[in-house]
Chains A and B, each alone.
Chain A
């Protein structure tokens, strides 16, 4: 299988107000297309930073990130935004739904950003909500949903433009065990359908479900 995501000699330093803080200090990593990879490690050691770089949400301070044959580190901001819209989908621990919009509108947002027609947006949003079992909540506000439901909406949204890879940052960190099981079942399904999945997690049980576990410690792959 080909490598979907390739990280070469990546450093990432956050320039705080006073002291620059290194988050990644020379990471090399290849992730094959269609695999389920978990990134584990202690808090604050660079897991999320690595995930953000893989999904083009941030740029490395040094080194290169290639995703599906494209060099993310050389893309313009606008190209990178387009990459995020079309080729990856992000899911976060705190769901990050847009509060002012209803469930359908939240799921439609990436399609709107990718320039799809309103009709296309509506139809696909309905399909996606059905696939995560939330058809009856199509016009609910995020505030009317449980944590598990919000996370399922977030997954539906991440899938809106049928991206090659899903990037999940502690997606079950804020959920009860029932909701966690529901979310993990959806991810298993997506994985078996051939989608590349990269997930940051603290939980060894969840990591055990992955084909590959990558440990990040002190800004390096351990």
Chain B
């Protein structure tokens, strides 16, 4: 015999209780991993999207908040807000290249799909997209360039027909995967989009590249002078959107942390019950010569074991679950504003290790009071307890 075998015997002695307590801490850790990977997934997605914007400045209508800025990065539908004369005024500024976006929506088989009107050829060139199949639809043509992911989910291939807002379109091309939200979007020529969606020449926002990067602020000034719009740099946009995403991530993590805390009370409860139930056993151990310190140690080891086992199982289950669940959660309304967040980013190894250490720390702390209670039981009292 040694202490560790004694601990194992104690743990497995009451199997259902062991299983239930372990489930508590495992669920908590699993939730933590899933939530952290979901938050990380959103962040990674946003960062990819922003670097893929291919612009230095984003021109939006005045008064947009972070929520709408997120949609700029996600390709979700936005109001058509910038009138054609202002687009023209901005385009007239020397040294800027303008890519207008009109983000609208439609449905295929009753499933909503994002549709974006762009100057297809210019956009493909600016964003360095490559076309996997077919070709780029020409301006004025009722043709579609489908993102890789959306083409796959609806089995779209060049030559296929589909109806957007009651108007027949033909798929002209399918893009190679970009790894961004663009994969989930149907692109159509801007002029056609403006006509079909009756926006009177308005667009949702403009992505602007400037000739001289060192003078970005100067260009921003010129744009706001020329038109009644707001200008935000790609970095500001990223920071602004990330602050939203991070607060969502933090909220998710806090929720999961509450789950872990709840599990801690489960451990305290189990261990306290164990000290009551095992009063007699503690008394026997003491009558056989066990010191208080040893009883304390055995109880602490039991509590820590919950953290080690629950932590490891939670990390494994959480990793598996985030692969399975995260895409589902990302499809949920609450988080779906980042259109392409179908991929989770697992917390880095250092975070995993921190979670494990945290689990052991929480469970060990939970064992302190029960172990102290067990250790100070008087042997005679404990033995006469029936």
Give A contacts to B, CB under 8 Å: 52, 57-58, 77-78, 81-86, 90, 92, 96-101, 105, 108-114, 118, 121, 157, 161
Inter-subunit contact B1/A121 (CB<8 Å):
yes
Asked if B292 is at the interface (CB within 8 A of a chain A CB), the reply is: yes
A52 touches B291 (CB 8 A): no
User: B286 interface residue, CB < 8 Å from A?
Assistant: yes
- Name A121's closest neighbour in chain B (CB-CB): B1
Complex interface: chain B residues within 8 A of A114 (CB): 289
Contact among A85, A97, A98 with B289 in the assembled complex (CB-CB below 8 Å): A85
Docked Cα-Cα span, A87 to B284, in Å, equals 16
With an 8 A cutoff between CB atoms, is B383 at the interface? Answer: yes
Q: Is B320 an interface residue (CB 8 A)?
A: no
Q: Which of B1-20 contact A (CB under 8 A)?
A: 1-3, 5-6, 9-10, 13
Report A-chain residues with C-beta under 8 Å of the C-beta of B281: 98-99
Contact B292 A77 (CB under 8 A): yes
Interface majority SS (helix, strand, loop, mixed), chain B: helix
| Distance between Cα atoms of A206 and B289 in the complex (Å) | 28
- Note all chain A residues with C-beta closer than 8 A to B222: none
Instruction: Write out the residue numbers on chain A whose beta carbons fall within 8 Å of the beta carbon of B107.
Output: none
Chain B residues with Cβ under 8 A from A57's Cβ? 286-287, 379-380, 383
B6 to nearest A CB, angstroms? 8
Give me 22 A-to-B residue pairs in the complex whose CB atoms sit less than 8 angstroms apart, sorted by A's number: A57-B379, A58-B378, A77-B291, A81-B290, A81-B294, A82-B291, A84-B289, A85-B289, A90-B287, A96-B280, A96-B287, A97-B284, A99-B281, A101-B6, A101-B9, A105-B5, A109-B285, A110-B288, A111-B1, A112-B2, A118-B1, A157-B288
Contact B287 A84 (CB under 8 A): yes
B-chain residues with CB within 8 Å of residue A77 when the two chains form the complex: 291-292
Residue pair A84, B288 in contact (C-beta under 8 Å): yes
Q: Which residues of chain B have C-beta atoms less than 8 A from A90's C-beta?
A: 287-288
Say yes or no: A100 contacts B13, CB within 8 Å: yes
CB–CB B292/A81 < 8 A? yes
By the criterion CB–CB under 8 Å, are A108 and B1 in contact?
A: yes
Q: Mark B residues whose CB is within 8 Å of A.
A: 1-3, 5-6, 9-10, 13, 280-281, 283-294, 378-380, 383
Is B380 a contact of A52 with CB atoms below 8 Å? yes
Q: Nearest 7 CB-CB pairs, A to B?
A: A85-B289, A100-B13, A112-B1, A81-B291, A84-B289, A108-B1, A113-B289
Rounded to whole angstroms, the CA-CA distance of A97 and B281 in the bound complex is 8
Q: Are A98 and B292 in contact (CB under 8 A)?
A: no
| Complex Cα spacing A82 to B294, Å | 12
Instruction: Report whether A100 and B293 are in contact in the complex, using a CB–CB cutoff of 8 Å.
Output: no
With both beta carbons as reference points, the residue of chain B lying nearest to A110 in the complex is identified as: B288
Are A98 and B284 interface neighbours, CB within 8 A?
Answer: yes
Q: Enumerate chain A residues within 8 angstroms of B280, measured Cβ to Cβ.
A: 96
Q: Are B9 and A113 in contact (CB under 8 A)?
A: no
Once the chains bind, are B288 and A113 in contact (CB under 8 Å)?
Answer: yes
Work out how many contacts link A and B, with CB atoms closer than 8 A.
77
Contact at B290–A113, with CB atoms within 8 Å?
Answer: yes
State the Cβ distance, A103 to closest chain B Cβ, in Å: 12
A86 / chain B contacts, CB cutoff of 8 Å = 289
Q: Report the separation of the CA atoms of residues A161 and B289 in the bound assembly, to the nearest whole angstrom.
A: 11
Given A78-B292, A109-B1, A92 and B383 contact (CB-CB distance below 8 Å): yes
Residues of A within 8 A of B3 (CB): 112
- CA of A57 to CA of B384, assembled, Å: 12
Docked Cα-Cα span, A96 to B278, in Å, equals: 12
Q: Which residue of B lies closest to A104 (CB)?
A: B1
From B9, B283, B288, contact of A85 by CB (8 A): B288
A100 adjacent to B289 (CB under 8 Å): no
Q: How far is the CB of A204 from chain B (nearest CB, A)?
A: 25
Residue with the greatest number of chain A CB neighbours at <10 A, chosen from B1, B2, B280: B1
Closest to A154 in B: B284
A99 to B6, CA, bound (A): 12
Q: Is the CB of A81 within 8 A of B289?
A: yes
Taking A100-B9, A109-B288, A110-B288 as given, write out 12 further A-B residue pairs in contact, using a Cβ cutoff of 8 Å, ordered by the A residue number.
A81-B289, A82-B291, A83-B289, A96-B280, A96-B284, A97-B284, A99-B281, A100-B13, A112-B1, A112-B6, A113-B288, A114-B289
**CB atoms of B284 and A110 under 8 A apart:** no
Of B285, B287, B294, the most chain A CB neighbours within 10 A belong to: B287
- Contacting residues, chain B, for A98 (C-beta < 8 A): 281, 284-285
The residue of chain B having its C-beta at the shortest distance from the C-beta of A91 within the complex is B287
CB closest chain-A residue, reference B384: A48
**Cβ–Cβ < 8 Å partners of A112 in chain B:** 1-3, 6
B residues near A101, Cβ cutoff 8 Å: 1, 6, 9
Whether A105 touches B284, Cβ cut-off 8 Å, given contacts A82-B289, A84-B289, A100-B10, is: no
Check A110–B383 contact: CB distance below 8 A. Answer: no
* Residues in B whose Cβ lies below 8 Å from that of A121: 1
Q: In the assembled complex, which residues on chain A have CB atoms less than 8 Å from the CB atom of B293?
A: 78
A-side contacts of B6, CB under 8 Å? 101, 112
In the bound complex, CA of A72 to CA of B294 (Å): 20
Q: Which residues of A contact B383 (CB under 8 A)?
A: 57, 92, 96
Complex Cα–Cα for A121 and B294 (A):
18
A98 to chain B, nearest CB (A): 6
Q: Which one of A81, A85, A101 has the greatest number of beta carbons of chain B within 10 Å? A: A81
CA distance A74 to B291 in the complex (A): 16
Residue of A nearest to B375 (CB): A77
Contacts of A84 in B (CB 8 A): 286-289
Q: Which residues of A contact B379 (CB under 8 A)?
A: 57-58
Taking CB as reference atom, which chain A residue is nearest B290? A113
CB distance from B293 to the nearest CB of A (A): 7
* B9 contact set on A, CB distance < 8 A: 100-101, 105
